[in-house]
Chain A
Amino acid sequence: GAGVSQSPRYKVAKRGQDVALRCDPISGHVSLFWYQQALGQGPEFLTYFQNEAQLDKSGLPSDRFFAERPEGSVSTLKIQRTQQEDSAVYLCASSLEGGFMNTEAFFGQGTRLTVV
């Protein structure tokens, strides 16, 4: 595709509901990143994949958060038993290889999650 595509763009979930957020990276991009951006804040790192390998998941805030990229392309971020503090924009980015200092990472428009 032309860029990183995230779906849905907007998601409203009732507290306690499970949600799944999808990221379609740019075709051929090896690296994929997830970030969480709360209202009025800068993005915060969640997790990083290189192909299907999850190299760093140190930013996932709790065991309710789970990310996968089984075939090294599309990635899904799953949040179980959502809570109000999970309300944020979830950003996905991809790059051709390596981390942010190697090649430019391109960000999607994000999924805005509102937990009510």
Chain B
Amino acid sequence: AQSVTQLDSQVPVFEEAPVELRCNYSSSVSVYLFWYVQYPNQGLQLLLKYLSGSTLVKGINGFEAEFNKSQTSFHLRKPSVHISDTAEYFCAVSPPYNQGGKLIFGQGTELSVKP
């Protein structure tokens, strides 16, 4: 079975500062990894995903994440955040052998960007 742990429930940060949102997963098999963002009163939006290949994945809005197999981590980073990045961020995993509909989400990290 797979599981996802987002190590921080809330991350406050000042505008233009760098940020890292941490995600660790547990799985006995290879997995696909995802980061989603949920703005207030909006649906989840895909930021980026790792399926295979380069361990550094670039996504939308200047976000990137690095897959670290030995540490079973997939941390999300942005070098300089904006007020508009304030949102809830979810890390998710999917085992490659399932039919593709089941994502296992972490509990979320609330990013709060202050001026």
Residues of chain B lying within 8 A (CB to CB) of residue A108: 43
Residues of chain B lying within 8 A (CB to CB) of residue A98: 100
Q: Do B94 and A105 touch (CB < 8 A)?
A: no
From A42, A56, A105, name the one whose CB has the most chain B CB atoms within 10 angstroms: A42
> Counting CB contacts under 8 A, is B34 at the interface?
yes
Residues of chain A lying within 8 A (CB to CB) of residue B44: 43, 91, 93, 107
Chain B, residues 75-115, CB within 8 Å of chain A (1/0): the string is 00000000000000010101010111111111110000000
| CB proximity to B under 8 Å, residues A87-116 | 91, 93, 98-102, 104-110
Q: Do A101 and B51 touch (CB < 8 A)?
A: yes
Residues of chain A lying within 8 A (CB to CB) of residue B92: 42
Residues of chain B lying within 8 A (CB to CB) of residue A59: 102
Q: Do B101 and A33 touch (CB < 8 A)?
A: yes
Residues of chain B lying within 8 A (CB to CB) of residue A44: 105
Q: Do B43 and A101 touch (CB < 8 A)?
A: no
Q: Give the B interface residue count (CB, 8 A).
A: 26
Asked, given contacts A42-B90, A42-B108, A101-B94, whether A110 binds B103 with beta carbons under 8 Å apart, the answer is: no
Question: Size class of A's contact patch?
Answer: 20 to 34
Q: Do A45 and B101 touch (CB < 8 A)?
A: yes
Expressed in whole angstroms, the Cα–Cα distance for A102 and B96 within the complex equals: 11
Expressed in whole angstroms, the Cα–Cα distance for A59 and B104 within the complex equals: 11
Residues of chain B lying within 8 A (CB to CB) of residue A47: 101
| CB proximity to B under 8 Å, residues A3-60 | 3-4, 31, 33, 40-45, 47-48, 55-56, 58-59
| CB proximity to B under 8 Å, residues A58-72 | 58-59
> Counting CB contacts under 8 A, is B55 at the interface?
no
Asked, given contacts A42-B105, A101-B94, whether A109 binds B99 with beta carbons under 8 Å apart, the answer is: no
Other-chain residue from A33, A43, A56, A109 in contact with B41 (beta carbon distance below 8 A): A109
Query: 17 more A-B contacts (CB under 8 A) besides A31-B100, A42-B92, A45-B104?
Result: A42-B90, A45-B101, A45-B102, A48-B102, A55-B99, A56-B102, A99-B94, A99-B98, A99-B102, A100-B49, A100-B101, A101-B94, A104-B46, A106-B43, A107-B44, A107-B45, A109-B42
